[in-house]
Chains A and B, each alone.
Chain A
Amino acid sequence: MKIYRFALILAGFAALFFGLQRLLTPKYMSGVYDGALIAEYYSETKNHEVIFIGDCEVYENFSPMTLFGEYGITSYIRGGAQQLIWQSYYLLEDTLRYETPEVVVFNVLAMQYGEPQSEAYNRLNLDGMTLSASKLNAVNASLTKGEDALSYIFPILRYHERWQELTPDDLRYFVSRKSAGHNGYLMRNEVKPVTIIPDGAKLANYDFAEVCRVYLDKMRVLCEENGIDFVLVKAPTIYPHWYDEWEAQIESYAETHGLLYVNFLEHIDDAGIDFAADTYDAGLHLNCSGAEKLSRYFGAILTEKFGLSDKRSEPAAAAEYAAKLRDYEAMKTAQRSEFETNGKAVTFTYSKS
């Protein structure tokens, strides 16, 4: 009886602990929607032909809905803000626990960072991962000074002081949250044209850090071991600057290992991207119109090079994506209307059809 009571008290404490943790952990349903993306993957149907991994240059610039609508390619973006290359590697490893895509696409801008940058970006990329060896390894590789690995397993250790900053969102989304991403794509429909293209500051050393080379290689080998085609891309955004010296190193790596590498900066006109209309922040990221153009262009390459099948004729995929496309088009319409009326979009989350 005493043991039973003890167990009951422990269970009560655990419920309180996890309830508080859920309440205090950021919900990413306003402001920083990017933080919702990584976790959303786990509730998806996992049968994707293409997985994108990388930083904002994947989740802001490629539209999986366009890839399906135009080519019948099923794809998902496991992207995060300023995702570091070791985070990309472990997210890929994590993804392969659930599915084996035919193609993995990695955006190479992250090669510029040879060490952890900031806890804030770590949180956006790691908090949403479910507990696994991949997550633990990603956390250990990413910790900045003063961070505690345990707080990535029990976020309440980091967020316990948030009780002073709780918002109605924390209660509203305590049980379940809306969706922010469309297969990992974060939609933006505002327009802010490019007016200036900043020069890149000179660097003392243009060589990628050894750790970046190591993780790039680990991703390539992991793909190879799983029979996956590994593709490198550089998104067509004009800032941060992509140096010729970096380009040469990636070209050389791709050539050495027989990988497809597409630097979309060299295909801006081919893709039909117009930086007067297709960016929402003066060239750092594409808006929805730009992402759709880029996806149309890239979809043709993926189809041709890797012979991906057209899933639009498969009833299950067709039904699944019909619902997804409805949600996608509804958000697009809402954002465009909001931008035209008020100069800014406000609809960034939705309830799935």
Chain B
Amino acid sequence: MKKHTIITIAILAAAVFGACDGEPAAPGVLAPGNTASEASAPAMSVDEASAVPGEAGFEFIYKGNAIVLGSKADDFIAKAGAPKDVFEAPSCAFEGIDKILYYPGFIINTYPIDGTDYILSVVLGDDSLTTPEGVYLGMGADEIPDVYGPVSEKENALIYKKGGTTLTFITENGAVADITYYYEAAISVQE
């Protein structure tokens, strides 16, 4: 009987305390590495981001300065100057503020980790700007594969992936209506 008792307790203890095998990291008080708002992607640490192997991601160039997705926003601001405006979007429930930095013709979305803002995405907003490869708002959508290579259009979007980033062209009436650079690595590592 004593043997049975010991075995039973051992099984129950293993079920509880052995359950962490293969699980994600402990959630802290509650938020498991996710301080992002409803409107943006889950956040991650920069160390995790840099651990993504392979080629460099897509970059938008502003005034000769590359905007590196996943890098510190302050590094870009130090080189390119302060944004003309900033919108702060606190996340629901969790601490941390996602920001939208307004520059002439484009915006930068950031996410916070331990009080530091990192670049999540860049959205081009007027046709005076082009991607480094020469695509601009209003350009014929059928010209994009000539620049970035063949890709199948899905729900009015042409999506290219490289080095943990995505470059998305949304099309309307056969023309480019939106260009977004996105730090996809934030999601893949989170998952």
Contact = CB atoms under 8 A, between A and B. Distances in A.
A146 B123 contact: no
Interface stretch (A28-36, A227-235, A299-307, A338-346): A28-36
Given A160-B20, A204-B156, A239-B39, A81 B170 contact: no
B90 interface: yes
A203 B191 contact: no
A150 B113 CA distance: 30
B9 A17 contact: no
Interface in A104-122: 109, 117-121
A161 B1 contact: no
A282 B39 contact: no
Given A32-B30, A162-B29, A204-B155, A157 B92 contact: no
Contact of A120 (B16, B30, B107, B155): B30
A75 interface: no
Interface string A314-347: 0000000000000000000000000000000000
Contact of A201 (B4, B30, B123, B190): B123
Given A9-B9, A161-B20, A203 B170 contact: yes
A158 interface: yes
15 contacts: A32-B94, A81-B92, A118-B32, A120-B30, A121-B34, A121-B92, A123-B27, A146-B24, A147-B24, A158-B23, A196-B102, A204-B154, A204-B170, A281-B88, A282-B89
Interface of A: 2, 5-6, 9-10, 13, 17, 26, 28, 31-32, 34-35, 55-56, 81-82, 109, 117-121, 123-124, 144-148, 150-151, 154, 156-162, 165, 195-196, 198-199, 201-205, 239-241, 281-282, 284
Interface of B: 1, 4-5, 8-9, 12, 16-17, 19-20, 23-24, 26-32, 34, 36-39, 42, 85, 87-90, 92-95, 100, 102, 107, 123, 125, 154-157, 168, 170, 172, 177-178, 180, 190-191
